[in-house]
Structure 1
Amino acid sequence: MRDWAVLFGKNVRKHRQQRGLTQEQLAFEAELDLTYVGGIERGKRNPSLLVMARIADALSVNLIKLLQQ
């Protein structure tokens, strides 16, 4: 089941937009590839815990918030 990946991606997009960041800026801050960030936001990628933590850090948000509905 990939529902958690879709939820995580939607939350990443929401927090990224609230911070006024582009996908490119988030990718740079999290040291990830731009296309990978896009795939995460669309729920098409299966990020590891380490990647999720790097994204949370780059967004200055608690990882738990990115996994909540």
Structure 2
Amino acid sequence: MQHISEVCDLLAIEGERRYEETRNVWQSLAGEFEDNASLTVDEANQLEAARKEHHRAAKEYLAIAFKAKFLEI
């Protein structure tokens, strides 16, 4: 367990980057489609896919944070 701190740092950085990236995509799409009163099926699917991906990234990031806390790093 020589490199556990380094691995946790790497995963945390990658998790944070992915979280921010998916948040930006989701917010961008939401802002783009916000002015449109009626979304097409494709637009609604894009927005929902971006939201789901953002939630997935958030869960992964939180899991990394809990694991690092559990390992006291």
TM normalised by structure 1 equals 0.37
TM normalised by structure 2 equals 0.36
Larger Rg: 2
Higher relative contact order, structure no. (Cα contacts within 8 Å, ≥ 6 residues apart): 2
Higher helix share: 2
